[in-house]
Amino acid sequence: MFISRTILNSKPTAIAIINNSIRNASNKTKTGIVMMNMGGPQKIEQVYDYLHNIMTDRDMIQLPFAQDYMGKWIAKRRTPEVQKKYSEIGGGSPILDWTNKQGELLCKKLGEILPNHGPYKHYVAFRYVNPFTKDAFEEMKRDGIEHAVLFSQYPQYSCATSGSSYNAIYNYLKNNEAMKDLKISVIDRWSSHPLLVKCFADLIKEELHKVSEKNRKDTIILFSAHSLPLKAVNRGDPYPSEVGTTVNLVMNELKYCNPYQLVWQSKVGPLPWLGPFTDEAIEGYVKQGKKSFVIVPIAFVNEHIETLHELDIEYCQELAEKVGVEEVRRVPAPNVQPIFISALADIVKHHFENKVPVTKKFLNQCPHCVNSNCYNSKKWFKSVASF
């Protein structure tokens, strides 16, 4: 850098100003890691808006008619029941706190293993509750981010979850002139990453060791993931196969030490959904004489209502007592396990090293997709994603 002789001969305060400006320029955050997820209401008062946003999102749920009206009605009807559930886990979802902790640790790790693309800062982009997509990108604009890595926090891709989040980003950025110079790239799925697999395997081992010795080797490992409507499965949604991939890799890491089964939770509404359902599987196994279980939230990376209430309270407590389960343990979500943070960092590192801004799998629509927003979104990402 050229510095004039006049400045070099000036007072120490002038040199200090120059040094500070150089240091500030070098410390400017270059890369934003956008951590995308559904989110969850942090307060009871947010539950209705959260449900309303879900029920009126056609990428998430396709109601048979009058979606805006029906979605509003369903959200209003379900709000008291869901508020009660949140009150029983402390009054709100911890997903934002966990995501922020994960993001901070991830960016610290990236600064160590991939310094040339840093400094890094994480941004949370929730789909149905604040901070929304808009909030994340407005903050990145203020921070002068050069490159945004759109990092889905769903390891297994579904059109209803990851797809909806990417469509929301497309709708926000497609005509946004203020952010036309922002470089973006996409990490859309990571169901088979070795460190994710090892993280779950290690957590399962810990819980199995807590099971009584007489039950341990016959304990059934139930891998529980959020279900999908069969209509979405038949349309070609890749989620079930990607969840199955994670399950098989985890069991391979565990050397198939125990009997296991992939089951599905969180069905909503009367339409047919992918099964067997977690609660019905537990009941069925008990009828077969099986009474010891370890439940694994295989598609969730942090604690929220579906782990803390549905798994812990509804299944591990209430259902287990009702049907006569002898032992049941629930594996914690990865949260901030060091190996999980290493997995996240390694995924981003390879993303930069491989320089594939968006995968062909992401750009390929489901064979029976009729969602024009999805078509336009993928076409747009193909044209703008870059390094």
Mean pLDDT of 224-250: 97
* Residue listed under structure tokens 């959200």: 75
Tell me: pLDDT of 262 over 50.
yes
CATH number of 194-330: 3.40.50.1400
- Choice between 26 and 118, residue whose per-residue pLDDT is larger: 118
Which residues, at least 6 apart from 9, have a Cβ–Cβ distance to it below 8 Å?
none
What per-residue confidence (pLDDT) applies to 25? Answer: 42
What per-residue confidence (pLDDT) applies to 135? Answer: 98
Cα–Cα distance, 1 to 238 (Å, whole number): 52
pLDDT 10s digits, 55-105: 998 877 777 778 888 889 999 999 999 999 999 999 999 999 999 999 999
Handedness of CA 249, 250, 253, 258 (dihedral sign): negative
pLDDT 10s digits, 189-212: 999 999 999 999 999 999 999 999
Which residues, at least 6 apart from 185, have a Cβ–Cβ distance to it below 8 Å?
147, 148, 149, 150, 351, 357, 358, 385, 386, 387
Percentage above 70 pLDDT, the chain: 93
Residues 219, 294 contacting (CB under 8 angstroms): yes
What per-residue confidence (pLDDT) applies to 11? Answer: 41
**Residue positions annotated with a catalytic role:** 193, 346
pTM for this structure?
A: 0.90
> In the chain, what are the domain boundaries?
41-87, 194-330
What per-residue confidence (pLDDT) applies to 27? Answer: 59
Based on C-alpha coordinates, what's the Rg of the chain? 23
What per-residue confidence (pLDDT) applies to 8? Answer: 33
Eight-state DSSP code of residue 59: T
pLDDT confidence bin for 334, thresholds 50/70/90: very high
What per-residue confidence (pLDDT) applies to 168? Answer: 97
pLDDT 10s digits, 6-59: 333 334 444 443 344 333 444 577 999 999 999 999 999 999 999 999 999 887
The DSSP code sequence of 150-193 is EEES-SS--IIIIIHHHHHHHHHHTT-GGGTT-EEEEE---TT-
